[in-house]
Amino acid sequence: MKMVEKKLAWYEATIIKDMMGLMGGRALRGGMSTYISSKIYQGKASLLRVANLLEATIDLEERRALIITDSFTQKFAKYITDYLDNINMEYKIWSGAEPEVPIPTIYEGAKICEEFKPQVLIAIGGGSVMDTTKMVMVKYEKPEVNLFMILPYFGCVGLRKKFKYFIAIPTTSGTGSEVTQVAVITDTDRDPPKKLEVLSDELTADITILFTDFVKDMPPFLTMATGLDAFSHAIGSFVSNWGSPYVDAMNTTAIKEILKYLPRAYKYGAKDIEAREHMQMASLMAGVGFGNTTPGIDHSLGHSFGKIFNVHHGLSVGLFTVYSIAFQAKVTDRWKLLCPIFNIQEENKSRKELLTEFLQAIRDFIESLDAPVRVKDLKDPVITQEEYYNKLDLLTNYAADDAVALTSFRTMSEKLFKTIFEYAWDGQDIDF
């Protein structure tokens, strides 16, 4: 199969950036709202229910499932295969998904699909496995499509002619990829490699299964970092001002749940199944929240920072959450609606005092999970001030070229991104 991707994604074109810069992210919001999710099954009986659905809707001679995992999550495949055996569904397990979804792995998965011709794709894993599966779907069905030029708002790819179902079973609680129409992949031809987003309604899973046994043994760091990703999705997209009553409900509930259950899940791990279950659902709800609006600019900043310094996605976006909200606060009061969730009362406080208190509450929450809110406090990896400032231009360039930057409610510029990165080194308050 031939590699057809061009170097640039559609949203990196100067004309798009200039137009969106002129209109602001709010231009798109006025034209369209989306309410996309998958069918969601939660709990121990969900595998059986979904197996029954597959048996009833796929003819015997067509029953083939490709289970996509990575080298770590392939151990979960055995939970699924008994159910597939029971309905006489042939299956293959491909454990070739890799962190950050390097493009060559997508072609590898598509080649397996061409040979095996699955009707069902079952992704078991974290965000990278989900996103690999989304891209494999495209390359299996439409090998001629350039992944970087799929237009999210009005373009249609035309998937699900060769396969019937994409089933997403997350093994972490954070990315929300099990219900979003987004895939984040890595262009390994760039130096350093760059994260790129692909968006299309057709990438959304048909069925999501929340099976707590798959997340209960997550180690504390992964629990914390993926949980902060969900936190950042919910709070960043709520404040972004793209909301509607439907997604606002998802985001505010997700924030409440994360504040309550993430510290418990981080501290008690597999001993607190209730916290695990609530974090699975909170992460999914935050996924519906940001998937149907837009994440905060913490995601443009975090994508760039995470890729350049090799920092976990959740830790990166968590670090930039406060700066993202403080930056948007110049043009919106939406953050005020979240104050009661953080037990902050308006009373007779000035707007500035209230905002200061709100931002501090977010910092306190993130730091209570042993995660940094200043770049200089990052422990793994440790980044020196010199290293950080040497990379400022590249950090700025990657953040400004990120799809999320286009939909910022407050119009972004390279200069603003650079200043935010400078302020984030030692946690200066955003004052512009």
* Positions in the binding site for Fe ion (CB under 5 A): 229
* For Fe ion, the closer CB: 118 or 289: 289
Phi, psi of 281 (to 5 degrees): -70, -40
| CA–CA distance, 158 with 160 (Å, rounded to integer) | 7
If the CB atoms of residues 38 and 226 are measured against Fe ion, the closer one turns out to be 226
Beta pairing class for 182-187 and 194-199 = antiparallel
Residue 151 Cα distances to 30, 148, 182, 294, 424, angstroms: 18, 9, 12, 15, 33
Q: Which is nearer to Fe ion, 178 or 229 (CB)?
A: 229
Contact of 279 with 265, CB cutoff 8 Å: yes
State in angstroms the smallest separation of the CB of 233 from Fe ion. Answer: 6
Would you give the DSSP letter of residue 204?
S
Nearest C-alpha neighbor of 101 from the set 72, 133, 73: 133
Question: Which residue lies nearer to Fe ion by CB, 58 or 101?
Answer: 101
Residues 6+ apart with CB under 8 A from 401: 11, 12, 17, 194
Neighbours of 77 (CB within 10 A): 19
Q: Torsion angle of alpha carbons 64, 68, 74, 77, nearest 10°?
A: -30
102 versus 291: smaller Cβ distance to Fe ion: 291
Q: Name which of 50 and 130 has its Cβ closer to Fe ion.
A: 130
Residue 27 in tokens: 């231009």
In the complex, what is the shortest distance from the CB of residue 65 to Fe ion, in angstroms, rounded to a whole number? 28
Output the smallest distance, CB 211 to Fe ion, in A: 22
| Three-class DSSP category at 208 | strand
Instruction: Point out the residue whose Cβ comes nearest to Fe ion.
Output: 229
Closest distance to Fe ion from the beta carbon of 23 (Å): 25
Q: Which is nearer to Fe ion, 197 or 229 (CB)?
A: 229
Residues ≥6 apart with Cβ < 8 Å to 152: 181, 199, 200
Pick 25 or 236: Cβ nearer Fe ion: 236
Q: Minimal distance in Å, beta carbon 289 to Fe ion? A: 12
